[in-house]
Chains A and B, each alone.
Chain A
Amino acid sequence: MSPRIGAAAIERLKERLARLEPRTKLKRVSSPVIGGRDEPVWRDLAPGALHEIAGSDWRDGAAASFYALAMASRLAHARRGDLVIVSLKSDARDAGLLYAPKGALCGVDAMRIALCFAGDVETLLWAAEDAARSPSVAALIIETCKPHRLLNLTATRRLQLAAEASGATPILLRSAHDSAASSAFRRLRVTPAPSAADSYDAAAPGRLRWRVAIERCRLGNCGEWIVEWDDETGELKEAPALYVPRPAALADRSADARARIA
C-alpha cells in the first residue's frame, strides 16, 4: 500500500465495503448446539441466510436431515411460520420418505410441514424460490441426494435474495460429494457418531449423537463438536465429555484434625 493514501481514503473504502455487504446484520451463530425453543438466536438470525448441511457419505442423509429439521423447528417456532421441504421425486425412492407417526418431527407439528416433490432440478429450484419468497414460510429445506450442475453459486445466491425479502431461512441439504461453490452463510457437515450408552440396556443404542463440523461460517468460528439429542427436552446439546473416574481428595488425617473432630 502506498503510504500516501490517507485515512479518508480508507474510510471511503470501508464505506464501500459496507455497502457491498448484506444490509441485514448478521448475528454470530457459531455453535452447532440447538438449545431450548425460546433461545433468542433463532429470532435474530439474519433473514435469507442460507445454511448448507451435508454428510460425508450418502447414508448420512438421515443425520443431516435430522439436524436441518431441528434447526427448522426452532425457526418455525420463533417466526410462527410454516415449514416447506422440497425434494426430488427420484430421491424419495432411495432415501425414503419423512415419517412422523407421532404427529411431530423434532418439535414441528407434522401438519405444518408441506412436502413437495419435484420431477427435476429446474422445477425443484423454481419451487424452492417460490417458497422462499412467501412470507408465510419460516424455514425451507431443500433436499438433494446427488450433485447437480444447476445447484451452483447462482442458484444459491438467487435463493438467498428471494429469502431475504420474505425472511424465510433456506436450508440446503447437499449430497456428500457436492463441492460446488455456494453463497452459504454457514456450512455444516453432519455425520453420525456412536450413540450414548442406554441407561437400561448396554447393548441398545442410546441417545443419538452426531459429529458436527462447521466448515464455514461468516462471522463465526469453525470447528468440530460432538452433539447429542435429548429426546425429553428436545434439545441438541454438546455431548458430555467422557466420564473419567477421579480418586477422592485425601482426607486430613493429622492428629490436629482428629482432635478437632473429637
Chain B
Amino acid sequence: MCLALPRWPTDRLMRARALRDETLCDGALIDGARPVVLYERTARALRLYAVNRPAARLGLARGQALSDARAMVPGLVAEKAEPEADRKAFLKLCAWHMRYSPLVTPYGANDIFIDITGASHLFGGEDDMLDEARARLRGLGVEACGAIAGSAGAAFALAHTHRRFIVPEGDERRALAGLPVSMLRLEAGATENLMRLGLKTIGQLYDMPRAPLTARFGARLNRRLDQALAIVSEPLTPLHPAPDYSAIRKLVEPIATQESILVCLDALANDIETVLSKGGKGGRRFDLALYRVDNEVTRISVGASAPARDASHIKRLFRDRLDDHRNDLDAGFGFELVRLSAHQCQPLAAMQVDALAANDTKDDAAALIDRLSNRLGPRNVVRMRVVDTHAPERAVSYAPALSRAKNPLPAPLAAARPLRLLKDPEAIDVMAEVPDGPPLGFKWRRASYRVVKASGPERIESEWWRGKAGPPRDYYRVETAQGWRFWIFRAGFYGDADAAPEWRLHGFFA
C-alpha cells in the first residue's frame, strides 16, 4: 500500500496551528477555504514551497515566485516553510501507521509505503483497510491518496495519479499502462529524455527492446519498470526493523486505564507465547506499542537476559514497567490498537511443563534479573567482571547483568585490594615523611585521622600506552587509631620540579 500526502506541509501547519489555537500570520482564523502557501528562500527569490488545495485551485503551484503569487491572488496567506518540522512530523505519522503493519517505510518527503502482506484481513480486507487509512488521515486534516498494488512502484504510481485505487492481483501491467513515465521514480533528466523521444506512458515501454533502453537511459529505468511490474522485488528499509514475531489486538472501544491495558496484554502475551513456541524460539526483547486514537504511539520495551516466551513472565515484565509509567502514561483519548512484538529471537527448546518443578532455579535467576533490569534500568543491575589490568579503577568492570557476557579470566592478584573502591579518588591532606615515607596522618571529609599502622608503598604505574599518562601512584594500606583501614595513594613525587605530589583516598578495607 502506498499513501501519498500531496499537501502535507500545509496540512501539517494548519493542524499544528489549530491544535494550539493559533491564528494564521495575518490574524485570520484557521479556515479550510482560505488559500495558504508556504514559501522558501532560494538564491534569487522567495519561491512557493507548498500550496494548499484552495490555493492550487486558483492556479498557484510549487516553484512560483511569491511576488507573482501575491499578484495573482490578493489576500494570499503566506508562511515561511519549515522543512525540518515537516520531516519530523512526517516520521511520527509514519510510525503511527505501523498500526496497520510493522513494515512501514517513509519515501521521499510525503509518501508512505506500508507492506500489508498478510495484514489486511485484520482490517476487513484491502478495501476497508485503504478506506480506513484515508479516512483517518482526513480526520487529521491531511489530504491523502492511496493505492494498493502488488509492488511498491505500482502503488506509488497509482497513488500519485488516482485518489484511491486497488489493483486486482497480478493486474499491475494493465493498470500502469496508461500512466506517464514520470511516475516510475526516475531521475529528472531521464524522464525528460523519454518524453522527448515520444515515450510518454509506461505502457509504451513494455514492448521496447530492453538493451537499447539500458544503453540510453541506464540500468535504473529497466529496474524501476521491473520493480513496478513486480518482476523483481524492491528492497525497502522500514522505519523500525521488522519484529520476528508479533501479536496484535484491535480494540472496538479505545482503552485508557492501566487495568484494561493489562487485560489486553494478557491476551497478547498468550498469543505471542503460542507463536514463539510453535517456532521453537524465545525473544530477548519485547516491544509493546500502544497506538493512540490521535496519531501518537507509546512504546514500552523490555529486555530479557535469556530467550523468553513464557506468557506470565512477559506479562510480569510489562506490568512492572507499566507501574513505573503509571503517572506519565498519556493515554490521550485512549488506545485503540495494541501490538506486542518479539525481537532478537533465539532458539529455545520446547519445555516440559511442571516436570521437576523444583529444579528450575536457573530460569528463576534469569527471570529475576529480567524483572530487576526492567524496573531499575539495565545499567543499574550489574555483575562484576575482572579485567586484566593493573590500574585499580579498571580492574573491575560493572557490566549489565542482562548482557550475559562471560568473564574471560580470573586475574591472579596477590596484592591486598580494598573491599570497596571509590569511583573518583578523593583528595586528602596528608602529613608524611618526605620524600617517600608512609603517611602519618591525614584529613578527609573534614575529619582528621592518625595513622597507627601502614604498609606500602605498592607502586602502580599509569597505563601510558592508553594515551593519558599520569604520574605513577604509590599506594599505602593504612590503619587509623580508631581501626578504620583505608587505601590511599600519592601520585607523583616530592621534589619533583613540575608538580607537587597529590594524595588521594581510593578505597576502604573492611
Binding site for B on A (CB under 8 A): 57, 59-63, 65-67, 69, 81-82, 84, 89, 92-93, 95-105, 110-111, 113-119, 123, 126-127, 130-131, 134-137, 191-195, 198, 201, 203-205, 208, 210, 229
Contact = CB atoms under 8 A, between A and B. Distances in A.
B41 to A, nearest CB: 48
Nearest to B386: A103
A114 B386 CA distance: 14
Interface in B382-399: 382-386, 392, 395-396, 398
Given A62-B419, A103-B407, A204 B454 contact: yes
Contact of B510 (A62, A84, A102): A62
Contacts of B401: 114
Nearest to B453: A205
B485 A208 contact: yes
A261 B114 CA distance: 112
B368 A134 contact: yes
Interface string B436-453: 001000000000000011
Nearest to A130: B371
B365 A134 contact: yes
A84 to B, nearest CB: 8
Chain A interface mostly helix, strand, loop or mixed?
mixed
A213 B396 CA distance: 33
Interface stretch (B262-270, B291-299, B410-418): B410-418
B421 A97 contact: yes
Interface of B: 361-362, 364-365, 367-369, 371-372, 375-376, 380-386, 392, 395-396, 398, 401, 407, 410-411, 413, 417-423, 438, 452-455, 477-479, 482-485, 507-510
A101 B395 contact: yes
A105 B396 CA distance: 12
Residue of B365, B392, B454 ringed by the most chain A CB atoms within 10 A: B365
Given A89-B380, A117-B376, A136-B362, A98 B420 contact: yes
Contacts of B418: 62, 96, 99
A193 B398 CA distance: 31
A98 B384 contact: yes
A195 B413 contact: no
Contacts of B483: 191-195
A101 B508 contact: no
Given A62-B420, A96-B423, A115-B381, 13 more contacts: A59-B482, A62-B485, A65-B510, A96-B507, A100-B386, A104-B410, A105-B419, A110-B384, A116-B381, A136-B365, A191-B483, A195-B483, A205-B454
Given A89-B380, A100-B384, A130 B419 contact: no
Given A81-B361, A130-B371, A134-B367, A118 B455 contact: no
Residue of B365, B368, B410, B454 ringed by the most chain A CB atoms within 10 A: B368
A83 B82 CA distance: 56
Contact of B383 (A62, A81, A113): A113
Nearest to A105: B419
Contacts of A198: 455
A81 B376 CA distance: 22
Given A136-B362, A198-B455, A203-B455, A101 B368 contact: no
Residue of A117, A131, A137 ringed by the most chain B CB atoms within 10 A: A117
B452 A194 contact: yes
Contact of A201 (B364, B372, B455): B455
Residue of A99, A117, A119, A195 ringed by the most chain B CB atoms within 10 A: A99
A95 B419 CA distance: 11
Given A198-B455, A205-B477, A208-B509, A100 B396 contact: yes
A123 B507 contact: no
A207 B375 CA distance: 41
